[in-house]
Amino acid sequence: MWLYALRRLVLTLPILFGVTVICFALVQIAPGDPIQNLLSPTASQEDADRLRAAYGLDQPLPIQYFIWIAKVLRGDLGMSIANNAPVATEVFRAFGNTITIALISVALAFVLSMILGVIAAYRSGSIVDKLITAVAVFGISVPTFWLGVVLVIVFAVNMFWLPATGMGASGSETFNYFNWEDFKFAIMPIIALALPPLGIMTRTTRASLAEILNQDFVQTLRAKGLSETAVMFHAVRNIMPQAVAMLGLQLGYLIGGSVLVETVFTWPGTGFLLNKAILTRDIPLLQGTILVLATVFVLINLVVDLAQSVIDPRIKRA
């Protein structure tokens, strides 16, 4: 187990290195002089020269990379052009908003997918099963940003139940998830975020349950006179490691993929930050946000793998 953990940890390092290389490359592939990409259009020539020296932009690329990565490791992600504020500060402020609704969404999706998956597998082939499968396909196929728009049309425009966008009057600083007036703002983003993972997880849960229920040992359990509920309980326990792995993966996807939903709802998270960076062509902000999100995604995968190896002792690929 410890060997596996260590090995997994060691294998993560080259991945993280690769992630930083790609993020570094983002500035390079952006059209135009990298220095222009890193500076606001109004910056003076001196500013440009200063930055050029600071980043060693006259040096060969590998050296530039090391200068950059040294700064990143010290927590310096550069300056946002639009706000003229440190990127790190902006990203971390936004990250809290993203992770909270992502966690709520993925938890919601997980619980619902388990319930729906169990029902579908239990009533395999019935109308209910088909209905659940249809919902799953819808969840997988639906563009979340469009779903967001539809939710706004239905709940905000037509019914006036929920506020359309933003975080409300209290704003990001004092937003309280346990206050109904505040939480109302989070409801639609959460639903929009939760639907795709709900679709994917429901489908997988149903499929793996169906597979297990067809296996010999389940027949044996049935033959021993176990009730269907108990059999299902066994089956669910069997797919747990897999389900947990998927849960983690989906959480990662939500954090990374929230840009569209946050844009629709102007939810001030990292996704919204990315949207802002794109609109203003703020490359440092884009680069810093991507770097943080990708790193988080890698770490989530690491944690999931380790958690899975604890739950499921069969994984000892050391």
Partner 1 sequence: MTDLIDAIDASPDSRDRGGPAQPMLIVENIKKYFPIRAGLLNRQVAEVKAVDDISFYVLKGETLGIVGESGCGKSTLARLLMYLIDKDEGHLILDGDPVGEKLGVALDGLRRSLQMVFQDSYSSLNPRLPIEQSIAYGPKVQGASSKQAKEQARALLDKVGLKPDRFGQRYPHELSGGQKQRVNIARALALDPRLLILDEAVSALDKSVEAQVLNLLGDLKEQLNLTYIFISHDLHVVRYISDRVLVMYLGQVVEIGPVDKIYDAPKHPYTRALLECRLSMDPADRVEVAPLAGDPPNPVNPPSGCRFHTRCPHVEEVCMSKAPALGDVLRSTPDTHLAACHMVHAGSGHTKAPKPADAMMWANLGVTL
Partner 2 sequence: MSDIPANLIPIPATQAAPSQRVRSYWGSVWNRLRYDYVTLFCLALIILIVLSAVFAPWLAPMDPDKSSMANRLRPIFHPKYFLGTDEQGRDLLSRMLYGGRVSLLMGIMPVVLATTIGGLFGVVAGYYGGKVNMVIMRTMDVFFAFPSVLLAVAISGSLGGGITNQMLTLTVVLIPPLCRVAETATSQVRTMDFVDAARASGASTASIISTHVLINILSPVLVYASTLVSVSIILASGLSFLGLGVSPPTADWGLMLSTLRQSIYVEPLVTAVPGVAILITSIAFNLVSDGLRQAMDVKA
Binders of partner 1: how many residues, by CB under 8 A?
Answer: 4
Question: In this structure, what are the phi and psi dihedrals at residue 269, rounded to the nearest 5 degrees?
Answer: -110, -165
Cβ nearer to partner 1, comparing 7 with 237: 7
* Residue 23 binding: pick among partner 1, partner 2, none (C-beta 5-8 Å cut-off by kind): partner 2
Contact between 6 and partner 1 by CB under 8 A: the answer reads yes
Position of tokens 């989070």? 186
User: Interaction with partner 2 in 149-168: which residues (CB under 8 A)?
Assistant: 149-150, 152-153, 157-158
Long-range contacts, stretch 311-316, CB < 8 angstroms, 24+ apart:
311/240, 311/241, 311/244, 312/241, 313/1, 315/4, 315/241, 316/1, 316/4
Q: Which of 2, 5, 7, 70 binds partner 1 (CB under 8 A)?
A: 7
* Integer Cα distance of 56 and 174 in angstroms: 41
Cα 138 from Cα 116, distance rounded (Å): 14
Confirm or reject binding of residue 240 to partner 1 (CB under 8 A).
no
Which residue, 6 or 169, is less far from partner 1 as judged by CB?
6
For residue 55, the 8-state DSSP code is T
What whole-number distance in Å separates Cα of residue 258 and Cα of residue 116? 24
- Quick note: the x/- pattern for partner 2 over 26-45, rule CB under 8 A, is xx-xxx--------------
Residue showing tokens 């060691």: 10
Residues binding partner 2: number (CB under 8 A): 58
Strands of 88-204, DSSP E: none
Tokens for 89, please give them: 């500060």
Q: Which stretch, 2-10, 171-179, 221-229, 273-281, contacts partner 2 (CB under 8 A)?
A: 273-281
d(CA 85, CA 285): 10
Nearest to 106 by CA among 172, 32, 191, 45: 191
Q: Does 10 participate in binding partner 1 (rule CB under 8 A)?
A: yes
Between 5 and 82, name the residue whose CB sits nearer to partner 1: 5
Residues that bind partner 2 (CB under 8 A): 14-16, 18-19, 21-23, 26-27, 29-31, 137-138, 140-147, 149-150, 152-153, 157-158, 196, 199-200, 207, 252-253, 255-257, 259-261, 263-264, 274-275, 277-279, 281, 283, 286-287, 290, 293-294, 297-298, 301
